[in-house]
């Protein structure tokens, strides 16, 4: 990749005053293409080398020579580099044509990366609030595979905890078996919300719920039967959502799976003298001014942290992963800091390979969606409306389109996914179906339409895949070549930052650059360069489709 090559050349020319990585972080794209393709600012070197930035730039420019470099000039403290367009164009496009969708892929590392994501709570509806973890985690798993790892996709279901004590009590008081069997999630949500409403004025309900959960932990048969019923009904509904999104998992081992694995963890903490008795509960004291990590309550019941400790140890033994990502909202940041700290205290060096991948909230009217208060927007409803909107667009603009239902699903679902993934994951997102379904601008349908447009161009031009020498693509092709050259680096960056928005933003920029190229360049003009231009267009299509695939979005050939 050209940035890495130039970084190495510059580092050598600077006698390794900066490392390759440090140089690469300083490389930038000039605001005006007339100033060069890549610029290296020398200001940070002035103090270290005790020279003026312009003098450093001039001396550096004299030392830089490579076949990839066409021309170098110095402006102020900047070394402006013009790349050899013909060499780079042929290098990049032949690499894509030879490797197809494998372009940008790293060789197999034969190493596992575990991604813990989605993780909805049993007996609660799959709301828009669950979308973020689900699609970020799925995209991250795809990016990990593109980066040469084996992705282990884990859905750590919220199928244990005090909420089940509340649900059991609510069912015993207000549940209707026939109504729940007919509409499980909706009815369970109704009585769950009622429990919280009633508990605001009746504290005895919370005491009953704590007792009910303790009986569940102790294996009481009626409580276990109710729990299994709630779990099975929820999984059936969740699976419907996952099928629509095109998402699968390698494991559905949720919190309940670790019930028999927590006592050994507590015993190990005790043996290593890490447990402290605090007001009748056992905790692990934290460093860095963090509050203690609660391991067991005064009644002996385990907690979220206990189960996550057991899960981390189990997964290490089962998968021996070189990296584990926990794709969980940023409100859980303290929990994961405590979790990783406890594992380090236990002497597990692999704890350093565990990473919390936080993200902002999905808001409604500026507020967090709340299951307790019944303020949820169901993801199934949003996906259905998105698909319906896509179908209306198809009927209005292309009523004779083949497989309309399939394309409407691909576009509607893709719009919802892309709207999430194009955002920096730490930002909160205000729920707006209208914004998701805006099919122009920075949207998934815009990228999909660009791909479909290219597919149509290739079909009309009767494109034949062949090896060509690229010489006369036109000035608007060059920015695209530079982008395509950077695609492998973008994939690497997306994995290292655990940030799928790197891929989403890349696909938007590439689609926009292609549409500008097509507006200024006649591709289908039956001249001697038509097949060459079609080959270039074909390369753009390959990378657009691969970008969408990593995000978990389909690329229809026609729209």
Predicted confidence (pLDDT) at residue 373 exceeds the cutoff of 70:
no
pLDDT score for 66: 84
CA distance 541 to 459: 13
pTM for the whole structure: 0.91
Count CA atoms closer than 13 A to 550's CA, side-chain side: 35
> Residue 469 — pLDDT band, cuts 50, 70, 90?
confident
How many Å from the N-terminal Cα to the C-terminal Cα in the chain?
A: 34
pLDDT at 122 over 90: no
Name the range with the highest mean pLDDT among 61-75, 299-313, 322-336: 322-336
% of residues, the chain, pLDDT over 90: 75
Pick the closest to residue 548 from 454, 417, 457, 442 (CA basis): 417
- Can you give the pLDDT at residue 289? 83
Measured CA distances, 233 to 177, 185, 209, 243 (Å): 12, 7, 21, 16
What SS3 string covers 72-103? EEEECCEEEEEECHHHHHHHHHHHHHHHHHHC
pLDDT at 369: 64
The answer to whether residue 375 scores a pLDDT higher than 70 is: no
Nearest residue to 40 (alpha-carbon basis) of 53, 20, 26, 51 = 26
How far apart CA 393 and CA 559 sit, in angstroms, is 10
The share of the chain scoring above pLDDT 70, in percent, equals 98
Four-CA torsion 246, 251, 253, 254, nearest 10 degrees: -30
pLDDT for 368: 72
Which position has the token pair 């270039």?
Answer: 536
Query: How far apart, in Å, are the Cα atoms of 120 and each of 230, 252, 282, 472?
Result: 13, 11, 28, 53
For the chain, which residues make up each domain, given as ranges? 2-83, 117-368, 379-551
Ramachandran sector of residue 310 (left: φ over 0; alpha: ψ -120 to 50; beta: rest): alpha
Q: What is the DSSP string of 526-541?
A: -STTHHHHHHHHHHHH
Per-residue pLDDT tens digits for 307-344? 999 999 999 999 999 999 999 999 999 999 999 999 99
Residue 298 has pLDDT above 90, yes or no: no
Please give the structure tokens belonging to residue 358: 């936080």
CATH for the stretch 2-83: 3.30.1360.70
Q: Are 53 and 45 in contact (CB under 8 A)?
A: yes
Q: Which of 7-16, 118-127, 292-301, 316-325 has the highest mean pLDDT?
A: 316-325
> How many other C-beta atoms are found inside a 10 Å radius of the C-beta of residue 549?
16
pLDDT digits (tens, 9 = 90+) for 422-446: 999 999 988 777 777 777 789 999 9
364 pLDDT above the threshold of 80: no
**Residue with token string 């299994």:** 228
CB 253 within 8 A of CB 154: yes
pLDDT (0 to 100) of residue 371: 52
CA distance 361 to 342: 27
Which segment of 102-116, 117-131, 283-297, 360-374 scores lowest on mean pLDDT?
A: 360-374
**Residues pairing with 363 in the sheet:** 368, 430
Q: Is the pLDDT of residue 508 over 60?
A: yes
Any idea which of 1-10, 78-87, 134-143, 218-227 has the lowest mean pLDDT? Answer: 1-10
Confidence of residue 370 (pLDDT cuts 50, 70, 90): low
Q: CA nearest 487: which of 509, 464, 518? A: 509
Q: Give 187: exposed, middle or buried? Use CB within 10 Å, 0-12, 13-18, 19+.
A: buried
According to CATH, the superfamily of the domain at 379-551 is Isoleucyl-tRNA Synthetase; Domain 1 (1.10.730.10)
DSSP strand pairing (362-364 vs 275-278): unpaired
Structure tokens at 229: 């019923």
In the predicted model, is pLDDT for residue 207 greater than 70?
A: yes
pLDDT digits (tens, 9 = 90+) for 157-181: 999 878 899 999 999 999 999 998 8
CATH number for the region 117-368 comes to 3.40.50.620
H-state helical runs in 398-463 = 404-421, 433-436, 444-460
Residue 372 has pLDDT above 70, yes or no: no
Q: Which of 27-41, 129-143, 294-308 has the least mean pLDDT?
A: 294-308
Q: How far apart are alpha carbons 307 and 534 in whole angstroms?
A: 55
Place of tokens 């369970």: 188
């Amino acid at each position: 990749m050209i940035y890495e090559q130039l970084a190495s050349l510059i580092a050598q020319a600077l006698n390794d005053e900066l490392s390759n990585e440090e140089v690469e972080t300083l490389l930038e794209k000039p605001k005006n293409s007339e100033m060069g393709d890549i610029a290296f600012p020398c200001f940070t070197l002035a103090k270290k080398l005790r020279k003026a930035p312009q003098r450093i730039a001039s001396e550096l420019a004299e030392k830089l020579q490579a076949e990839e470099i066409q021309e170098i000039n110095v402006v102020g403290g900047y070394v402006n580099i013009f790349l050899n367009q013909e060499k780079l164009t042929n290098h990049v496009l032949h690499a894509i044509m030879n490797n197809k969708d494998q372009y940008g892929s790293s060789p197999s590392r034969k190493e596992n990366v575990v991604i813990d994501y989605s993780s909805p709570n049993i007996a609660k509806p799959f709301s828009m609030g669950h979308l973020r973890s689900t699609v970020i985690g799925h995209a991250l798993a795809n990016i990990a595979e593109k980066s040469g790892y084996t992705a282990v996709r884990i859905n750590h279901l919220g199928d244990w905890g005090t909420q089940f004590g509340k649900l059991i009590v609510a069912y015993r008081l207000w549940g209707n078996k026939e109504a729940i069997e007919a509409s499980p999630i909706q009815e369970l949500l109704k009585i769950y919300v009622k429990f919280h409403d009633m508990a605001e004025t009746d504290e005895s309900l919370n005491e009953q719920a704590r007792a009910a959960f303790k009986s569940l932990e102790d294996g009481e048969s009626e409580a276990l039967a109710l729990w299994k019923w709630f779990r099975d009904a929820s999984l059936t509904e969740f699976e419907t959502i996952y099928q629509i999104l095109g998402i699968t998992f390698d494991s559905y081992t949720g919190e309940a799976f670790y019930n028999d694995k927590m006592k050994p963890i507590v015993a190990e903490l005790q043996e290593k003298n890490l447990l402290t008795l605090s007001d009748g509960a056992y905790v692990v004291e934290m460093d860095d001014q963090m509050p203690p990590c609660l391991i067991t309550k005064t009644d002996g019941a385990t907690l979220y942290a206990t189960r996550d400790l057991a899960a981390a140890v189990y997964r290490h033994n089962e998968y021996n992963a070189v990296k584990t990502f926990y794709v969980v909202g940023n409100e859980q940041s303290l929990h994961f800091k405590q979790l990783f700290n406890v594992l380090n205290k236990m002497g597990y060096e692999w704890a350093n390979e565990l990473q919390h991948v936080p993200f902002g909230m999905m808001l409604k009217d500026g507020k967090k969606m709340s299951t307790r208060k019944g303020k949820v927007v169901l993801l199934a409803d949003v996906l259905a409306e998105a698909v319906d909107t896509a179908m209306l667009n198809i009927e209005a603009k292309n009523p004779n389109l083949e497989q309309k239902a399939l394309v409407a699903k691909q576009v509607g679902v893709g719009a919802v996914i892309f709207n999430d993934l194009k955002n920096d994951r730490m930002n909160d997102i205000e729920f707006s179906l209208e914004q998701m379904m805006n099919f122009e601008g920075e949207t998934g349908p815009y990228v999909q339409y660009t791909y479909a447009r290219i597919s149509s161009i290739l079909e009309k031009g009767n494109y034949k895949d062949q090896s060509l020498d690229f010489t006369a693509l036109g000035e608007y092709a060059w920015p695209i070549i530079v982008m395509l050259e950077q695609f492998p680096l973008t994939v690497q960056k997306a994995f290292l930052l655990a940030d799928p928005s790197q891929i989403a933003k890349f696909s938007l920029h590439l689609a926009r650059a292609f549409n500008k190229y097509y507006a200024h360049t006649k591709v289908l003009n039956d001249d001697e360069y038509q097949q060459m231009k079609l080959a270039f267009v074909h390369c753009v299509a390959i990378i657009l489709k691969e970008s969408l695939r990593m995000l978990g979005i389909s690329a229809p050939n026609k729209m």
